[in-house]
């Protein structure tokens, strides 16, 4: 009896590609917001499928085989292409968040340009203090991925992914306080966050933490701890203030 891979034909590959393309498009689309990048990755998946199909020996179901190719394509995208695409990936996402925060469903041209300029500046600030992997994790969380999903994409364990996210988040917050407080709403907003924290149910800042925040200088660890406490009260960059979904 002929084996599955001995009887495969070009037509069977075409049938598989047609049938599974919507699944792959959804799979990639959930993980990459930028339409151009999404289409590029999907194209890579089916190019890789065409190249590897002759050597496929039926070790797993064909659908699972294609999904595995897609997973590898996404890993390569975030690892190999991160430096090239990081700014573009982030920009659309951060701009969308600015629209949501300002309740601007359909911003006018002037507002949209201003939001894009803000997003570009914020991305530059993030890249000054966060490693490429921290930037990648932050971007993936912003796109709605869970820690487990990101771990699969980047071939890391979930605990490591969470550490990268938390470290990148605290570095960015402390950096913005010292170097670019306007992204936090200015120092008036920071002082307001301190007051809200003190009257809320959260943990108050220690004397050392409050002094470091108000003077915008001090030990890095102290600034980071303080800013994480204040983040939920700043009302800016929603991702930074939210608990990570598991």
**Residue 29, domain CATH:** 1.10.1740.10
Alpha-carbon gap, residue 100 to 192, rounded angstroms? 22
Q: Same domain for 48 and 103?
A: no
Domain with 139 in it: 83-241
pLDDT, tens digit only, all 246 positions of the chain: 344 444 455 558 888 899 999 989 988 887 776 788 889 999 999 999 999 988 887 777 888 888 889 888 887 777 666 555 544 444 444 444 444 444 444 445 555 555 566 666 777 788 888 887 787 787 677 666 788 887 876 767 888 888 888 888 888 889 999 998 888 888 998 998 898 888 876 568 999 999 999 999 999 999 998 988 887 777 645 444 333 333
Q: Same domain for 44 and 129?
A: no
Q: Would you say residue 235 lies in a domain?
A: yes
Last residue of a domain, one of 80, 97, 117: 80
Q: Which residues contact 219 (CB under 8 A, 6 or more apart)?
A: 212
Last residue of a domain, one of 80, 109, 130: 80
Alpha-carbon gap, residue 111 to 118, rounded angstroms? 11
Q: Same domain for 133 and 103?
A: yes
Length of the chain, in residues = 246
Residue 216, burial from CB neighbour count under 10 angstroms (0-12, 13-18, 19+): middle
Q: Same domain for 105 and 165?
A: yes
Alpha-carbon gap, residue 28 to 21, rounded angstroms? 10
Alpha carbon 4 to chain centroid distance?
Answer: 40
CA-to-CA dists, residue 46 to 97, 139, 194, angstroms: 32, 25, 53
Q: Same domain for 139 and 150?
A: yes
Last residue of a domain, one of 80, 105, 133: 80
Alpha-carbon gap, residue 239 to 68, rounded angstroms? 29
Alpha-carbon gap, residue 59 to 8, rounded angstroms? 14
Q: Same domain for 129 and 199?
A: yes
Q: Same domain for 94 and 190?
A: yes
Q: Same domain for 160 and 221?
A: yes
Alpha-carbon gap, residue 184 to 112, rounded angstroms? 19
pTM score of the predicted model? 0.55
CB 177 within 8 A of CB 216: yes
Q: Same domain for 170 and 202?
A: yes
Residue in 99, 145, 147, 89 with CA at minimum distance from that of residue 120: 89
Q: Would you say residue 246 lies in a domain?
A: no
Q: Same domain for 72 and 145?
A: no
């Amino acid at each position: 009896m002929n084996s599955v891979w001995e009887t495969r034909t070009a037509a069977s590959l075409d049938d598989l590609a047609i049938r599974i393309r919507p699944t792959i498009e959804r799979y990639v689309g959930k993980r990459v917001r930028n339409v151009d990048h999404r289409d590029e990755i999907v194209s890579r998946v089916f190019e890789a499928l065409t190249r590897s199909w002759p050597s496929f020996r039926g070790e797993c179901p064909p659908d699972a085989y294609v999904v595995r190719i897609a997973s590898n394509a996404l890993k390569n995208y975030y690892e190999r292409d991160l430096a090239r695409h990081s700014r573009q990936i982030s920009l659309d996402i951060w701009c969308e968040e600015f629209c949501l925060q300002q309740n601007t469903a359909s911003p006018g041209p002037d507002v949209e340009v201003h939001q894009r300029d803000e997003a570009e500046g914020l991305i530059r600030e993030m890249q000054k203090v966060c490693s490429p992997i921290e930037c990648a994790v932050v971007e993936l969380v912003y796109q709605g991925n869970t820690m487990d999903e990101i771990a699969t994409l980047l071939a890391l364990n979930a605990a490591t992914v969470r550490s990268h996210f938390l470290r990148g988040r605290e570095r960015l917050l402390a950096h913005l306080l010292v170097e670019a407080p306007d992204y936090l709403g200015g120092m008036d907003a920071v002082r307001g966050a301190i007051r809200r924290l003190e009257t809320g149910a959260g943990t108050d800042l220690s004397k050392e933490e409050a002094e470091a925040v108000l003077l915008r200088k001090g030990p890095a660890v102290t600034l980071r701890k303080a800013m994480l406490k204040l983040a939920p009260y700043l009302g800016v960059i929603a991702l930074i203030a939210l608990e990570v979904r598991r």
